[in-house]
Amino acid sequence: MEFFFEVLIGGLLAGVMYSLVAIGFVLIYKASGVFNFAQGAMVLFAALTFVSLLERGVPFFWAFLATLASMVVLALLIERMVLRPLVNRPPIILFMATLGLSYMIEGLAQALWGAQVHGLELGIPDEPLEIRGMLLSQFDLFAAGTAAALVIALSLLFNRTRIGLSLRAVADDPLASLAVGIRLPRIWAVVWAVAGFVGLVAGLLWGARLGVQFSLSLVVLKALPVLIIGGFSSIGGAIVGGLIIGA
């Protein structure tokens, strides 16, 4: 019985990793109705940027801040230069635009850093943690705690701040939101910036687990079942979907 619960809990914790990628999709789809297929490439770009700074001797904290800044800038550039001009276009055009962005970001990353695999160490012990006879991965526990903190922070952002309330209004009725003075471009920019941060968190965790390699961009495919189960517009649903897939 202990083995059963050990495998079950391990699967649930692993499912949280998929939820982290799915949250990035949910944020953008909720605000603009765009399925951002480039989210996987953003996860890869974040991991490569961070590990390259560490390999050059940049301290962990400053490497994190520099990578965060680069991801926010990348997300804002995508929103401003690619997707904003395509507003009100058919969804298939927006989807193909993000698909093309995915290939472009991957190509840029390969030109900058090459195709070799990089190891990423976050300082999390490798030894499993024993809890009531069950051996649980400390890394999975850390990832679950990170996801929980991220969900709480996003919930506070969307439910307790003016920008969050504006985002919810835009998600419910963009035209009515525009009529009452909500600036849609500003909301979209904020959402893309937050999605860039989520991509950074997911990139660090997935990079530490699998190594920083180009297959990281394929985690987008693993997040699709999570979105199908949890829905494309619910952060809580993304977490629940990840837990179901993990179990």
φ/ψ of 232, rounded to 5, equals -90, -5
- C-alpha to C-alpha distances, 128 to 61, 131, 140, nearest whole angstrom: 26, 10, 10
Q: Is residue 26 within 8 Å of 234, Cβ to Cβ? A: yes
- Kindly state whether residue 40 falls inside one of the protein's structural domains: yes
For the chain, what percent of residues have pLDDT higher than 70? 91
The SS3 call for residue 81 is helix
CA 181 to the chain's CA centroid: 30
- Residue 39: its pLDDT value, please? 82
- Kindly state whether residue 196 falls inside one of the protein's structural domains: yes
Q: Which of 195, 199, 210, 204 is nearest to 47 (CA)?
A: 204
More confident residue, 85 or 68: 68
Instruction: Find the mean pLDDT for residues 225-240.
Output: 78
More confident residue, 46 or 89: 46
More confident residue, 232 or 174: 232
- The pTM of this model reads 0.82
d(CA 245, CA 242): 5
More confident residue, 40 or 2: 40
| Across 62-71, 98-107, 122-131, 190-199, least confident range | 122-131
- Residue 65: its pLDDT value, please? 92
- C-alpha to C-alpha distances, 100 to 41, 94, 127, nearest whole angstrom: 11, 10, 41
Q: Which of 242, 168, 157, 221 is nearest to 193 (CA)?
A: 157
**Tens-digit pLDDT profile for residues 237-247:** 777 787 777 66
**pLDDT class for 62, splitting at 50, 70, 90?**
very high
d(CA 220, CA 218): 5
**Tens-digit pLDDT profile for residues 184-219:** 777 778 888 888 888 888 888 888 877 787 777 777
| Across 68-82, 144-158, 161-175, least confident range | 161-175
Q: Which of 29, 19, 38, 24 is nearest to 77 (CA)?
A: 38
d(CA 39, CA 45): 10
DSSP per-residue letters across 187-238:
HHHHHHHHHHHHHHHHHHHHHHHH-B-GGGGGHHHHHHHHHHHH-SS-HHHH
Q: What is the mean pLDDT of the chain?
A: 79
Q: Domain range for residue 74?
A: 2-86+138-246
- Residue 246: its pLDDT value, please? 67
- Kindly state whether residue 8 falls inside one of the protein's structural domains: yes
- Kindly state whether residue 46 falls inside one of the protein's structural domains: yes
- Kindly state whether residue 109 falls inside one of the protein's structural domains: no
- Kindly state whether residue 28 falls inside one of the protein's structural domains: yes
Number of independent structural domains in the chain: 1
